[in-house]
Amino acid sequence: MAKRDFLLEIIEKKTRLKRRTSRWNQVMARIVNLIRIKQFIRNRKDHKIPARSELAKYVPIGYAACIEGYFELVYRDLIDSGAPFNDNVANLKDLTININHVIAMQNGKVTLGEYVSHLLPGNNLDKINDIMTTILGEPFLEKVKSIKIDYFGDKKPVSLDDIKMASRVVTDIQSLFKQRHIFAHELNSKHAFNINHLMQISSASVYLIEATEAIVENAISARA
């Protein structure tokens, strides 16, 4: 098996993202279209349309991709913002950087944040929690549950704990990743699923991303 060229992978991945566009705008551009797909599926109640069920399988695939891609940008931005987050990288497990990578960083081809974030997983909530807790130096999921933000656009900041949604969001994200794995990597010709359930668990992604964005903005701002 050919050895992976991490630098080439990072550079190619950067070409597939918009330049000078925030992580929030990058992820929301895709989520907006996913919401439109969900609305289309909900409005088409004719269960005799085979494509409706097949299209519904894309919902967890798309939202899981948003979580993975968003957190890669979060890891990058936290680390590249400086101490203490770049110092905390030393506490992450199983990371190796060789001389070629150091030279690439010195030459400005990639940043430390870009390199490290490329190696970190984002396809499992437990792993995301471990990584974010290490980089932030604080329990990440506890902050997700307790931070107060304007989730509903009514200028009334609330936390997931306040609205009794914390446990459900965690459970739904775990279920989302499980369904994504099934639909993306298996034929699942016999796998039974509930379309309404897929619509529900995908909404948890937005809660997670919104809470994370507030946490990260606060953490980076606190450095100033």
The confidence score (pLDDT) of residue 117 equals 94
Q: List Cβ neighbours of 115 (8 Å cut-off, separation of 6 or more).
A: 6, 10, 97, 101, 104, 105
Contact between 67 and 205 under an 8 Å Cβ cutoff? The reply is yes
Query: Which 3-state string (H, E, C) describes 33-84?
Result: HHHHHHHHHHHCCCCCCHHHHHHHCHHHHHHHHHHHHHHHHHHHHHHHCCCC
Q: pLDDT digits over 165-222, tens only?
A: 999 999 999 999 999 999 999 998 787 889 999 999 999 999 999 999 999 999 999 9
The two tokens of residue 74 are: 């979060």
Count of Cβ atoms closer than 10 Å to residue 188 Cβ: 13
Contact between 209 and 73 under an 8 Å Cβ cutoff? The reply is no
Give me the average pLDDT of each 10-residue run along the chain (224 residues): 81 91 96 95 75 91 97 97 95 80 80 92 94 97 98 95 97 97 90 90 97 97 84
Contact between 34 and 62 under an 8 Å Cβ cutoff? The reply is yes
Distance CA 75, CA 115 (A): 10
The confidence score (pLDDT) of residue 48 equals 64
The confidence score (pLDDT) of residue 118 equals 93
Count of Cβ atoms closer than 10 Å to residue 8 Cβ: 9
Which residue ranges make up each domain of the chain?
6-221
pTM: 0.93
Q: Which of 78, 181, 95 is nearest to 137 (CA)?
A: 78
The confidence score (pLDDT) of residue 1 equals 62
**Where do the DSSP E strands lie in the chain?**
none
The two tokens of residue 39 are: 């609305």
